[in-house]
């Protein structure tokens, strides 16, 4: 076996371990009784350390060096080798003891956060967050040294691979300069529209049938995936067995229907990955930014379009009966209603990026040491006032304590959401140029041309290209907010 082949067999083994990790994590969120929690965390910890040992075994460094000299590798193999080297470096450059401390601190902090958020208890939460932050900073500093990047860029790269502050800053500056004014204009305009809320009970079993009908239309492969219920909707599992979840509320079906469109967007990206590379790093989804672009493309661009409401309204009537509120125009107004609010996950399309930019600016300062945890609530409220015109004051659950990301140690994650929205707009604009009938198809619940384009230009590439290369090949341009701003102008202002 060549050195490269040796590496492939190592990474195939870790892929199998990751497969089990993914399914067991799904089980934890969907099936596991509460008493199983501690034992499950321990078992998953063991699985992770076996995976870590597999990658960091003594021969890996030699094989990486030898494979680097191998002139017979094709482009996919070369890209695969690049990912392997990056994973190896990430796995070896941080002392095992520090990794253990980060895992421990973030689990403790996240578990405490759940109750302390409910109790609005910032005072006891702050020291736990500080401990997690300091350990993340320590690890980021070591990796920054090894990868020759700034610590915050290193953390961004964990979730938005090969994207850094130099790429993000001008885009976020542009959004900051335009979105507050557009939000106000959109709100003015929407004052003239009266929205009717659907009323009555929407039985869970009917909502489940609607969910499955939507997944069917979008092209979810039920032979290689399933739908279940969890506390927060997510997409998990592996390409051959994708597990998506949603949650239902008997009093309304609007939010669950759109959560399904979102998660199915994630699922199709996974299900459409090239089968011959599935067990290798190059065959995986590229990054959270790209993953989010695929869910937001389906949710925000396709399924919240006025055209799609022509399909959704009669479909919803099939399950819930006819009522005035369930007509295409009214559903469209419901799904595009703009209102600045405190909670990011409930935010509309226009204000969502402002929630992200606020977090981006704060975590950057936290990581760089220019902002202390004790100063965080005041800094949060100040930016909230500046960007969204509202202030949560001492209600921390509506402010600085609302997200799971920081307590779980996931600093650097937030930009991926807005990068995803921007990439989604850029890809959708180009797909519509190549297939002008996409909007008419969506009006019939037909996603075939949209997915033909996405499969060819995004899904089949897996991780063989960087985000900038992928976007340039697919759309002719690197990452740019232009299409996103045109999209919101058209949807909310014109």
How many beta carbons lie within 10 A of that of residue 440, not counting itself? 12
Nearest approach, Cβ of 228 to Zn ion (angstroms)? 16
**Considering beta carbons, is residue 8 or 270 the nearer one to Zn ion?**
270
Nearest approach, Cβ of 246 to Zn ion (angstroms)? 12
**Considering beta carbons, is residue 264 or 280 the nearer one to Zn ion?**
264
**Considering beta carbons, is residue 122 or 159 the nearer one to Zn ion?**
159
Please classify residue 399 by burial: count the beta carbons closer than 10 Å to its beta carbon, then call 0-12 exposed, 13-18 middle and 19+ buried: buried
Instruction: Indicate the pairing of strand 241-246 with strand 235-238.
Output: antiparallel
Rounded distance between C-alpha atoms, residue 102 and residue 137, angstroms: 10
Nearest approach, Cβ of 295 to Zn ion (angstroms)? 4
Stretch that binds Zn ion, among 18-26, 289-297, 315-323, 483-491 (CB under 5 A): 289-297
Structure tokens at 133: 């932050």
Stretch that binds Zn ion, among 34-42, 148-156, 292-300, 336-344 (CB under 5 A): 292-300
Nearest approach, Cβ of 465 to Zn ion (angstroms)? 21
Least Cα distance to 233 among 210, 256, 202, 215 occurs for 256
At residue 214's C-alpha, the angle toward residues 211 and 219, to 5°, is 125
Rounded distance between C-alpha atoms, residue 72 and residue 493, angstroms: 55
Under the binding rule (CB under 5 A), the answer on residue 25 touching Zn ion is: no
Nearest approach, Cβ of 414 to Zn ion (angstroms)? 13
**Considering beta carbons, is residue 100 or 232 the nearer one to Zn ion?**
232
Bridge partners (DSSP) of residue 241 are: 238
Stretch that binds Zn ion, among 47-55, 191-199, 295-303, 381-389 (CB under 5 A): 295-303
Under the binding rule (CB under 5 A), the answer on residue 245 touching Zn ion is: no
Closest residue to Zn ion using C-beta atoms:
295
**Considering beta carbons, is residue 210 or 424 the nearer one to Zn ion?**
424
Nearest approach, Cβ of 288 to Zn ion (angstroms)? 8
- The rounded Cα 323 to chain-centroid distance in angstroms is 35
Under the binding rule (CB under 5 A), the answer on residue 295 touching Zn ion is: yes
Rounded distance between C-alpha atoms, residue 9 and residue 133, angstroms: 36
**Considering beta carbons, is residue 158 or 482 the nearer one to Zn ion?**
158
**Considering beta carbons, is residue 151 or 236 the nearer one to Zn ion?**
236
User: Following DSSP, what letter does each residue of 93-160 receive, concatenated?
Assistant: HS-HHHHHHHHHHHHHHHHHHHHHHHTT-HHHHHHHHHHHHHHHHHHHHHHHHHHTS-HHHHHHHHHS
**Considering beta carbons, is residue 116 or 422 the nearer one to Zn ion?**
422
Nearest approach, Cβ of 235 to Zn ion (angstroms)? 7
**Considering beta carbons, is residue 144 or 454 the nearer one to Zn ion?**
454
| x/- letters, 167..186, toward Zn ion (CB under 5 A) | --------------------
Looking up tokens 């998953």, which residue turns up?
44
Nearest approach, Cβ of 459 to Zn ion (angstroms)? 16
Stretch that binds Zn ion, among 208-216, 253-261, 288-296, 326-334 (CB under 5 A): 288-296
Looking up tokens 């695929």, which residue turns up?
294
User: Following DSSP, what letter does each residue of 236-288 receive, concatenated?
Assistant: EEETTEEEEEE--BTTB-HHHHHHHHHHHHHHHHHHTS-GGGTTSGGGS---H
Q: Phi and psi dihedrals of 164, rounded to 5?
A: -140, 180
Structure tokens at 490: 């058209």
Nearest approach, Cβ of 155 to Zn ion (angstroms)? 19
| x/- letters, 247..286, toward Zn ion (CB under 5 A) | ----------------------------------------
Q: Are 311 and 442 in contact (CB under 8 A)?
A: yes
**Considering beta carbons, is residue 246 or 295 the nearer one to Zn ion?**
295
Nearest approach, Cβ of 391 to Zn ion (angstroms)? 28
Interface ranges with Zn ion (CB under 5 A): 295
């Amino acid at each position: 076996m060549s050195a490269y082949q040796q590496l492939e067999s190592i990474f195939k083994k870790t892929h199998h371990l990751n497969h089990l990790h993914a399914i067991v994590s799904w089980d934890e969120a969907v099936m596991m009784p509460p008493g199983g929690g501690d034992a499950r965390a321990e078992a998953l910890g063991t699985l992770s350390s076996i995976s870590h040992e597999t990658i960091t075994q003594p021969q890996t460094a030699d094989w990486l060096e030898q494979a680097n000299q191998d002139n017979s590798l094709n482009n996919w193999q070369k890209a695969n080798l690049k990912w392997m080297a990056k994973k190896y470096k990430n796995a070896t450059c941080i002392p095992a003891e520090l990794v253990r401390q980060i895992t421990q601190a973030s689990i403790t902090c996240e578990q405490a956060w759940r109750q302390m958020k409910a109790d609005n208890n910032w005072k006891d939460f702050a020291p736990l967050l500080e401990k997690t932050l300091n350990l993340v900073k320590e690890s980021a500093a070591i990796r920054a040294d090894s990868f020759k990047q700034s610590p915050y860029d290193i953390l961004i790269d964990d979730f938005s691979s090969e994207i850094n502050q130099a790429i993000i800053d001008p885009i976020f500056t542009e959004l900051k300069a335009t979105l507050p004014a557009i939000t106000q204009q959109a709100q003015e305009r929407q004052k003239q529209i009266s929205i009717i809320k659907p009323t009555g009970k929407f039985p869970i079993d009917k909502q489940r049938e609607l969910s499955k009908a939507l997944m069917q239309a979008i092209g979810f492969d039920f032979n290689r995936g399933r739908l279940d219920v969890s506390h927060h909707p997510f997409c998990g599992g592996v390409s051959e067995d994708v597990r998506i979840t949603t949650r239902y509320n008997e009093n309304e079906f609007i939010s669950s229907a759109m959560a399904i469109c979102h998660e199915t967007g994630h699922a199709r990206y996974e299900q459409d990955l090239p089968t011959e590379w599935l067990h290798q790093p190059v065959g995986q989804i590229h990054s959270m930014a790209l993953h989010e672009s695929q869910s937001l493309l389906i949710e925000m661009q396709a399924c919240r379009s006025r055209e799609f409401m022509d399909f959704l309204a009669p479909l919803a009537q099939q399950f819930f009966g006819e009522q005035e509120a369930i007509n295409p125009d009214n559903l469209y107004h419901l799904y595009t209603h703009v209102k600045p609010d405190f909670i990011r996950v409930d935010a509309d399309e226009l204000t969502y990026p402002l929630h992200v930019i606020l977090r981006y600016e704060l975590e950057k300062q936290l990581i760089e040491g220019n902002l202390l945890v004790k100063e965080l609530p005041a800094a949060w409220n100040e930016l909230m006032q500046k960007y969204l015109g509202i202030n949560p004051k001492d209600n921390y659950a509506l402010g600085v304590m609302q997200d799971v990301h920081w307590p779980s140690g996931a600093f650097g994650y937030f930009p991926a959401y807005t990068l995803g929205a921007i990439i989604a707009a850029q890809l959708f604009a180009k797909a519509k140029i190549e297939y002008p009938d996409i909007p008419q198809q969506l009006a019939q619940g037909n996603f075939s041309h949209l997915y033909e384009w996405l499969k060819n230009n995004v899904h089949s590439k897996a991780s063989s290209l960087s985000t900038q290369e992928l976007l340039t090949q697919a759309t002719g341009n690197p990452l740019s907010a232009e299409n996103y701003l045109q999209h919101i102008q058209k949807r909310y202002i014109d």
